[in-house]
Structure 1
Amino acid sequence: MKVRWLVLDVDGVLTDGKLYFDNSGNELKTFNTLDGHGIKMLQNSGVQVAIITGRRSNVVERRAHDLGVNKLIQGREDKFAALQELLTDEPCRLEDIAYIGDDYPDLLVMTRIGCPIAPPNAAAPVRDRALWITNTRGGEGAVREVCDRIMQIQGTFDAALAPYIGEQ
């Protein structure tokens, strides 16, 4: 299997899953910089990255923009329908998709794609259906772990790492 798309949930995957609100009602989220750089490297290696989340958040929109992720679908509980919409513009076999999810709304996608992945902080039924459970928790570098591993498996990791160690 060659991964052509990595699709990400947000809360519990790109974040620690906690929701933070200030006294004015503004939502705050923390993202891991390791995940962000891994996403950029993966995209540069030729793998498309998309985000599908059940909540709507300006913070997520900004993070996606900062990472160059232009496939963002927010406010959708039916994530499989959202994935199908995403694929109408850029077709890809479901077998060539990796998806990282952590909760029940992710299961419909995870049971239909080629590489379902869960962080160890995912709900038990999600972990049970994952092909791979990361060593790192969501929001703490799990996405980076996946990005690096995809590039290693696909033989693009050394080229992605080369500029950082002075080999171009």
Structure 2
Amino acid sequence: MFPEDSDEPSVELGEETEIGSAVGYNFAHWKCLKLLAVNADGVLFSPEALQGPAGQHLRTYHSRDVVGVRMLRRTGVQVLLLSEEEDPVFNTLAEREKFSLRQNCKDKLDELDSYRQQLGLSWAEVGYVGHDVSDVECMRRTGVSACADDSDSMVQRIACFVSHYAGAKGALREFTDQVVELNKMGPKTDTEVEVIR
């Protein structure tokens, strides 16, 4: 479930790193997540869209990612999907799985901040899984950020966690599994520093 051991130094949450090296966490300042925001395009759904002869869009997602989010929601974590465009495919899955969904987001940070305030959460209690440059500001602001291994290079540099998997192919599940385990452990005090590599 956790990234493989390596000789690379550990990273602090939010520290900028070389691409692909930010695998793992320093738990010293971990605060249990209560909201996970996800870029629908490229993280939960494949960024490639197939267009049918009648103009309809077809998108793919990995069932393990959806199961991972389901498991996360069972622990009380809210899930918010964000998208810069509008796609009925997103609506279908969000309604079925009871995700909150915001489409046509011109400013993802503003949308996320508004939702966070509605829930009465601090930024430290919010996680974000991004994919492209439009996610960078959200990732910088939230307590924990993650991305897939096929995300934009800037996104990978600032992510606290870079998955071994591509978007819509298990990356989200790898991260949600860790969040579930970390939330079970609860927050660490400054004297209880534990690093998983």
Partner of 1:121: helix, strand, or coil?
A: coil
Larger RCO (alpha carbons 8 Å, 6+ apart): 2
**Structure 1, gaps ≥5 residues long:** 157-168
**Residues in 1 aligned to 2:83 and 2:64: alpha-carbon distance in whole angstroms:** 20
8 Å CA contact retained: 1:40, 1:68? no
Residue 25 (structure 1) aligns with = 55
Q: Which has the higher helix share?
A: 1
Q: TM-score, normalised by structure 1?
A: 0.88
**Residues in 1 aligned to 2:97 and 2:172: alpha-carbon distance in whole angstroms:** 13
**Residues in 1 aligned to 2:177 and 2:160: alpha-carbon distance in whole angstroms:** 17
Q: Stretches of 4+ moved more than 3 A in 1?
A: none
8 Å CA contact retained: 1:15, 1:139? yes
Q: CA deviation at 1:120?
A: 0.6
**Residues in 2 aligned to 1:145 and 1:65: alpha-carbon distance in whole angstroms:** 23
Partner of 2:141: helix, strand, or coil?
A: coil
Identify the match of residue 48 of structure 1 among 75, 78, 97.
78
Percent of aligned pairs with the same amino acid: 25
Q: CA deviation at 1:77?
A: 2.6
**Structure 2, gaps ≥5 residues long:** 1-30, 186-197
Matches for 1:15-164 after TM superposition, within 5 Å: 15-69=45-99, 71-155=100-184
Q: CA deviation at 1:88?
A: 3.2
**Residues in 2 aligned to 1:155 and 1:145: alpha-carbon distance in whole angstroms:** 16
Which digits, 9 at most, give the CA deviation of each residue in 1:17-44, with x for residues without a partner? Answer: 1122111111111111111111111101
Which digits, 9 at most, give the CA deviation of each residue in 1:49-99, with x for residues without a partner? Answer: 111111101110111111121x21001131001102212321211111110
**Residues in 1 aligned to 2:61 and 2:113: alpha-carbon distance in whole angstroms:** 27
Larger Rg belongs to: 2
Partner of 2:146: helix, strand, or coil?
A: strand
Residue 162 (structure 1) aligns with = none
Partner of 1:7: helix, strand, or coil?
A: strand
RMSD of aligned Cα (Å): 1.2
* 1:10 partnered with 2:43: no
**Residues in 1 aligned to 2:125 and 2:116: alpha-carbon distance in whole angstroms:** 12
Residue 160 (structure 1) aligns with = none
**Residues in 2 aligned to 1:79 and 1:14: alpha-carbon distance in whole angstroms:** 16
Q: TM-score, normalised by structure 2?
A: 0.76
**Residues in 1 aligned to 2:98 and 2:136: alpha-carbon distance in whole angstroms:** 26
Partner of 2:37: helix, strand, or coil?
A: strand
Aligned length, in residue pairs: 155
- The one-letter code matched in structure 2 to 1:83 is L
